[in-house]
Amino acid sequence: MEPIEQIRVRAETAVPGAKIDIVPNPGPANQLSLLIDSAHATDVARFLRDDTALRLDFCSNVTGVDWLDRTVKRTSKVKRVVDGEEKEVDESAEEKIPGYLEAVYHLYSMAHKHGPVVIRMRTTDRGDDARLPSLTPVWRSAEFQEREIFDLYGVHFDSHPDLRRILMWDEFVDHPMRKDYVPPDDFEWEPTPHDEVLARAKQHYTPRPQLDGAEKITTQPQS
Amino acid sequence: MTQQIDEQLRSELQRQGVWVTSMQELYNWGRKNSIWPLQFGLACCAIEMIATAASRYDIARFGGEVFRPSPRQADLMIVAGTVTKKMAPQIVRLYNQMPDPKYVIAMGACAISGGPFKQGYNVLKGIDRYIPVDVYIPGCPPRPEALLHAFMELQRKIDDQKLTGANKAEHLNAAQPSEFPVPTFGAHDLEPSANLAVFRPAKIERT
């Protein structure tokens, strides 16, 4: 298969106005992925599917990722005059990146037996009305998995044929795979809680001691 | 009543070809040797339940081979596997549709307490939150022998049930509810999260 940089360039020329970035992967796999802007996502996806050299006709997996607000420290070498002498100095700048939700698609070609090509789309924020274009019209196999992302991450897929919850019930309002989701406190905490579990256990036992009578919970003695 | 006849006299009579019994004994003997389980499985425990019903372990030896596809013909509900919160109302509804006397075996860690999924958001932390359970089988999943053991325990339990008197079986008590409230799907969790009339968790002493 052609290198991902070439795919990016060809896709950008094939779809006028599309903006595609390559997302670096610092892990040992170094699997790069294409970040596609939402406005042109469907056209880019059609190109990836129909292009004779690529023919990515099989979408094997769609998954969601929740990125919280984060600050990234970047260090860069800057030339600066220190004590009348020019030196290279490390300068670190903090960059605040607002959170967003992401949908990741893994594409393969059955016709050419190659792949995967990983494409990503990002929402603008993590709000209740996070939107992305649906790629189900391009790859039918994305239907249920986009429903799953809608269910668990709360991403609304525009032009999805049947956007309903798939795992949780319809009356459910939360999105459990979001990182700030707080699960219902509906069970008895273990007899010997510690650390974070202790904090949650304390929270659990104060308001409703009638459920298991374990209201006498205290901190474990420090040794 | 069995208590009113001397055991020695009884065995002496039996040796002479006279078999003395009581209605209760006869009735319970019939019931305990023909338990019809409800045919449904929820997860990997169901595979063990199927193995128990098949030839190698053969639950038919204990009179429990007639798995019924309808709750209206079943006496025993084997909750075999993880009960998700989405499934829990249906389980309670099935239980409500079973005719009295009815029994429940909670098979495996998940059906008892949620098991390895206890800290998850979507799994019910034990079916005993909504319906009364007669026999619990620990294990993940329990072997077929464990299910057979639970089945025999249940038979013992049925055999001990009294038909009359102050401590007669619960299903003969008119005040005893045979239907339990079905939880509804709430915005964050099932509502209520447990039926407190049924659910009595053990007190854990913490120091």
- Interval B149-169: pLDDT, tens: 999 999 999 999 988 888 888
Q: Could you tell me the two tokens for A117?
A: 């090509």
In a domain, A80, yes or no: no
- pLDDT for A206 equals 60
In a domain, A117, yes or no: yes
- pLDDT for B89 equals 95
Where does the pLDDT of residue B2 fall: very low under 50, low under 70, confident under 90, or very high at 90 and above? very low
For A27, residues 6+ apart whose C-beta sits below 8 A from its C-beta are none
pLDDT in tens, B88-101: 999 999 999 999 88
- pLDDT for A223 equals 45
B125 Cβ under 8 Å from any chain A Cβ? yes
Smallest CA–CA separation between B196 and chain A, in Å? 8
What does pLDDT average to in each consecutive run of 10 residues of chain A (223 residues)?
A: 92 93 91 93 94 93 92 80 78 87 95 92 90 94 94 93 93 92 79 76 62 48 46
**Using the beta-carbon criterion (under 8 Å), do B122 and A181 form an inter-chain contact?**
no
Residues of A with CB under 8 A from a CB of B: 167-174, 176, 181, 183-184, 186-188, 191, 210-214, 216-218
- pLDDT for B203 equals 66
Please tell me the distance from the alpha carbon of residue B103 to that of residue A7, in angstroms, as a whole number: 63
Please tell me the distance from the alpha carbon of residue B20 to that of residue B134, in angstroms, as a whole number: 30
In a domain, A170, yes or no: no
Cβ neighbours of B52 (radius 10 Å): 27
- pLDDT for A82 equals 75
On the CB side of A214, CA atoms within 13 Å amount to: 25
For residues A130 and A223, membership in a common domain is answered with no
**Using the beta-carbon criterion (under 8 Å), do A173 and B120 form an inter-chain contact?**
no
- pLDDT for B69 equals 92
Of the candidates B190, B191, B187, the one whose C-alpha atom is nearest the C-alpha of residue B84 is: B190
> In which domain, by residue range, is A212 found?
184-223
**Using the beta-carbon criterion (under 8 Å), do A188 and B206 form an inter-chain contact?**
no
- pLDDT for B71 equals 93
CATH number at residue A26: 3.30.460.80
Domain positions in chain B: 36-162
For residues A201 and A104, membership in a common domain is answered with no
For residues A132 and A194, membership in a common domain is answered with no
Q: Could you tell me the two tokens for B205?
A: 């002493």
Q: Which fold has domain B36-162?
A: Rossmann fold (3.40.50)
Of the candidates A142, A144, A143, A149, the one whose C-alpha atom is nearest the C-alpha of residue A178 is: A149
Please tell me the distance from the alpha carbon of residue A203 to that of residue B50, in angstroms, as a whole number: 42
Task: Report phi then psi at A20, rounded to 5.
Answer: -120, 130
